[in-house]
Structure formats: structure tokens, C-alpha cells
Amino acid sequence: MHSPYQPAEELLPVRAARRMSFSTGCHAHVLRRLAQAALALCVSGAAFAQSERAAPLVITRSALAVKFQIAVVDAEADAFADVLAALDEVDALEAQINVWSPTSAISAWNAGNHDEPVDVPLSVASLVAATQRMSARTDGAFDITVGPLFDVWGLTDRRLREPSPEELAEARACVGSALLTVTIAPPRLGRARPCVRVDLSAAAKGYAVAHVVARLRAAGITNAFVAAGSSTVCAIGRGPDGEGWPFEVEPGRTWLLVDQAVATSGFSETDVPLADGRIRRHILDPRTATPAARDVARAIFVGPDPLEADMASTALVVLGEQGGAEWAAREGWRTSARGAVLVLSDGRSVTLGATPD
């Protein structure tokens, strides 16, 4: 599983991203003029082809420890306000699901001393319920209660050490989605043991992107691209050229996304190098209480939902090549518009399910 939120990632070309960061005081016509400088956009793995049509309206805002970026093609006059409203919703979500904020709703729940389920925001209950479904789909490879394992392995404070069998056993007793109880109506969240805590990092960006996409579609926006950092993106419509939003999966391989989401997990700056040359993964396997197997260096999942994509990409790194292939076959990804690319540690790539090639 992912570690807690990491330092903010850069999104799009740095110069363009900063140039296209606007305050709410900007007028739409000024925004469009500035947007002419950003006909070609890139997201660490996502590339927008240059178009002969009018440049997208592009707005960037920092949230959830990354840069959220929204690009809208053929924007109407009120699109600027619609995009800002969507980003405002991300800010509201951050106040509820950001584990790094001591005042967030989930941090308050983690710190609470309660034996019975307590009231939580609907966003928290809905997101936890979604993570439980993903945990069931992956036989526990995805789990948001993995925090105690990070503690005993020294990944939380980056003071790495090998835990004793007794420490691992104690931590494992506090880990497992089955230890959480959640209801939606009313939204309440409980835990079987006081030591259980929730880290929504591996799902928060996908959940926020899904909310932004829903908000834009409700406003009548039919051609846009939403990116949360460099790891979770979602395409609405067919892009500037009408052929799809280009997303570079790996050198020489580009997907044209149409109403699809992509998320990436794997090696990152948060992996910790050891003195003997090994690397301590920042993704742990909740089933074994140890760092995830190293055969998958990076997993790129594509599907209809950004929340599912965010969680699935992490699960694939934990499952490894064989486990990921078995999961894809079991769920019939080829016939359900879901797929993935696993970039293996030896440099090979393996494609699972249906991908937009």
C-alpha cells in the first residue's frame, strides 16, 4: 500500500503549470489569452498533443499534496467558474480525508478513543466503503489500515529497521479492512480495535478526481482532462483533436483516452535506499506484513472510474505479475473495459485486459 501523502508532485511542464495558475480574480478572457501559451501540455506520463484548435482553458491548484490541473476544450464563457467550483470541492474533500492534516475528519477519527461507530462525513464513509470493496476484490492486497506496519518497518519516520516477529504480530493484529465497520445512511465509521487507523492516501486522489469529473459533467462540460499530480488522471470526451486525450504509457506507447481514467503506482522518490544497495519499498503487502514483491516496478491501470484506477494500480504492485494476471482473468477485464500495463523490474512490460492501444 502507499505510504501517507508524500511531498507535492510537479504537474505538467513546470513553467506552464505555474503560468497557468490563476486566482479567482482573473477574468475568463484573460485566462484564454494566457492559455494560448500552453497548447502542448505534459503530465509525467501524460502528453497532450498540440492542436490547431483553440487552446484549452487550464487551471491549476494545489490540493491533497499534489497539483490538481483541469484543462477544458472549447470552454464556454462560464466554464471558468465551473472549474473553480470543482476545485473548491477538492478543497472541501481535503478537509475531510487528508490524513496529514491534524484537523481533518479522518485524522480526528484516527485519534479518537471510541469503541462504537461514530458519525463521519459522507465522503469518509463512502470512500472507506469503496476501499473495502477493493480489498475484497484483491483478496486483501489493497488495505487502508496498513499504517501500523509502516510504523514497525520504520517507513513512517524513515528510520528503517527490521521488526521482530513479536512486533510484526502485534502490528498485524491492527491491520485488515474487516476490522472496520462502515454505514452510509447514516454515515458512520467504527473499528474492532482501538489500534486500527485509516490511511486514505492510496484512494484519496482518485476519489477527488471522480468528484471533479462529476461536477464538470453536471455543468455540461463534455471535453476536459483532469489530473491529480502525475499519478491519477481522467479524460472527459475526445480531446483537442477529437481522437482522444493522448497519454504516454511508456516510451513509444501512447493511449488515446476517451472517457477513461488512468492511475500509476510503483517506484518513487519515497522508496528508501538501504546501505547494502537494496531498496525498501514504500508499498507494503498487507497480507504478508512485508514490503511488496519487487517484480512489478510500476503498474498503470486504465478503466472507467478514477477511484477504481487509483486503488487498482496500488493493488497490482502488491499482487505482482502473476497475481495481477490472475486478478485480471478472474474479473474478465478484457470484456469490461479495464486493463493495465505492468512495467517489470527487468524492463519488460506485460499488458493485462483491455487497453486503449
Could you tell me the residue range of the domain that residue 228 belongs to? 14-99+203-258
pLDDT value of position 179: 97
* Tens digits of pLDDT across the chain (357 residues): 443 323 233 333 222 222 233 222 222 322 333 333 333 343 434 444 444 555 678 999 999 989 999 999 988 878 999 999 999 999 999 999 998 889 999 999 999 988 799 999 999 999 999 999 999 999 999 999 999 998 998 887 777 788 999 999 999 999 999 999 999 999 999 999 999 999 999 999 999 999 999 999 999 999 999 999 989 999 999 998 999 999 999 889 999 999 999 999 986 544 555 555 555 556 789 999 988 777 899 999 999 999 999 999 999 999 999 999 999 999 999 999 999 999 998 999 999 999 998
Q: Is residue 21 part of a domain?
A: yes
The number of folded domains in the chain is: 1
pLDDT value of position 230: 84
Cβ–Cβ < 8 Å for 340, 300: yes
Which of helix, strand or coil describes residue 68? strand
Q: Is residue 291 part of a domain?
A: no
Q: Is residue 41 part of a domain?
A: yes
Q: Is residue 143 part of a domain?
A: no
Half-sphere exposure of 135 (CA within 13 A, CB side): 24
Q: Is residue 208 part of a domain?
A: yes
HEC assignment per residue over 6-33: CCCCCCCCHHHHHHCCCCCCCCHHHHHH
Element spanning 270, H or E:
none
How far apart, in whole angstroms, are the C-alpha atoms of residue 343 and residue 266?
9
pLDDT value of position 321: 96
328 to 50, 196, 250, 264, 354: CA distances (angstroms) = 34, 30, 21, 16, 10
Half-sphere exposure of 220 (CA within 13 A, CB side): 8
Q: Is residue 211 part of a domain?
A: yes
Which of helix, strand or coil describes residue 301? strand
Q: Which residues pair with residue 187 across a beta bridge?
A: none
pLDDT value of position 10: 31
For β-strands 349-353 and 339-344, DSSP reports them as: antiparallel
Cis peptide before 186 (omega within 30 of 0): yes
244 to 73, 81, 90, 124: CA distances (angstroms) = 12, 25, 25, 33
How far apart, in whole angstroms, are the C-alpha atoms of residue 132 and residue 256?
31
Q: Is residue 269 part of a domain?
A: no
Q: Is residue 153 part of a domain?
A: no
